[in-house]
Every structure is written in structure tokens, then in C-alpha cells.
Structure 1
Amino acid sequence: MSSENSKYLKISEACDLLRIDKSTLRRYARQGKLSRVSLSPRKVLYIRAEIDELISANTHRMETLSERKVS
């Protein structure tokens, strides 16, 4: 199953996308920044849409020179 098409991500996939450590991902879940789905005590999935939303909220788009308005 490709993580790009999946609604859920494994811990390793979520960490790779967010570029964070597993402990940080777990902390985000405890703090309520992300929801997790427990399939078993050792199998936890994270919701892809929430990961994408967190990335978007924390990504700053740089303005190019051509987009700047000259005053």
C-alpha cells in the first residue's frame, strides 16, 4: 500500500513526512496536535490529512523577487 494514496500513515511514514523523531510524533499526539488510531498496543496509525494540515500550517512560502511589488 502506497502512503501517498492511503488515509493513514505508519509512525515511520509520518516521521519521514514531518522530518521529526518518533518521540516528537508521540508528543504531538499526546498534546492533541495529531490524532492516532490504535490497531493494537504495538500498531498505531496517524491520519494523513492531519499530517498534511500540520505541514501546511508550519510551512512558510518564500516570496520570489518577481512577486514582490515595487513601491
Structure 2
Amino acid sequence: MLGTQLDLLLNKDEALQRTLWDITDEIYNLEKSADRQARDGPLMEAGRAVLKAEWGKVKREMRSAEFQPGK
């Protein structure tokens, strides 16, 4: 179910999101728990990169003339 949610939420055409998707898919297909845990670092790094990029988009949108609170 989580894999399906990620498929729906991530845009595989964007490089950062594709990297995150690839890592999660790799983890999903590993058999041993230790092998999955060994991928925690790259998973966190990829997730942080996606969140940083998305936060940058939000900040740019909020600074635009189109987004004016109270109007």
C-alpha cells in the first residue's frame, strides 16, 4: 500500500523525486531487514532533497504577486 501511495505522490519525471522513488523501490525489493536498514542513509538524503526542493517552490509561490494573504 505504501508503494502505491508513493507512486501516486511522486513525479518520476523530476530527477530528485525519481531518485527517491528508485531508492524506495530498491528497499521494497530487498529481502533482508539488515539490507533495508543499510539503505536508510540514502533514503533520508533523497527525501530531504525532495522536501528542500518542494519547500523552495512554496516559498517562491508565496513571494509572488499572485499570493497575497488577506485578499
User: Shorter-chain TM-score category?
Assistant: 0.3 to 0.5
Structure 2 length as normaliser, TM-score? 0.32
Bigger relative CO (Cα 8 Å, ≥ 6 apart): 1
Structure 1 length as normaliser, TM-score? 0.32
